[in-house]
Amino acid sequence: SLAIDSLVVRLIELIDSIPVLFLLIALSAILNSSAANLILIIASVAWTGMAKHIRAQVLRIKQRPYIESGRSMGFGSFRLLYKHIFPNAMAPVFISLSFGIASAILFESTLSFLGLGLGADQVSWGSLLAEARSDYQSWWLALFPGLILFLSLMSLNRLGDALSK
């Protein structure tokens, strides 16, 4: 057990203890609403899930017989990590990455819907859905952005499912 591993796990637990939507709203209210800042805000919250998944995969693979065989053959930790553990841990991580991208899109849409996402001069699916609330007679203003958002999220989830098989 490394000290850095313990520190990273505690940082992940600290960030995960705060509700994600409240943290996103607070950070987006503090920073200006540019696309780069919004990406950084979402990434600062969303990295914990991926980090936990990568750590679990590395710990699982570290116990495999071929890793112990490599140790007994005299392979160094660096070689075992970069030649054997990381390549075998990345396949499941790509699956969770597709789900992470879908949740990031949903977070951005939620913030834009609440008026805390991108600026008024930039358009996103959340801002289009927010504008559709003002005109109930024009049902297509909500249908098409909502449908495209739904199809995007569903296709990313299907991609994650397909990668898992």
Task: Report the 3 state secondary structure along the chain.
Answer: CCHHHHHHHHHHHHHHCCCHHHHHHHHHHHCCCCHHHHHHHHHHHHHHHHHHHHHHHHHHHHCCHHHHHHHHCCCCHHHHHHHHHHHHHHHHHHHHHHHHHHHHHHHHHHHHHCCCCCCCCCCCHHHHHHHHCCCCCCCHHHHHHHHHHHHHHHHHHHHHHHHHC
pLDDT at 10 over 90: yes
pLDDT for residue 155: 94
pLDDT at 37 over 80: yes
pLDDT at 2 over 80: no
Mean pLDDT of 63-85: 90
Whether pTM > 0.85 for this model: the answer is no
pLDDT at 1 over 70: no
pLDDT at 12 over 80: yes
Average pLDDT, the chain: 88
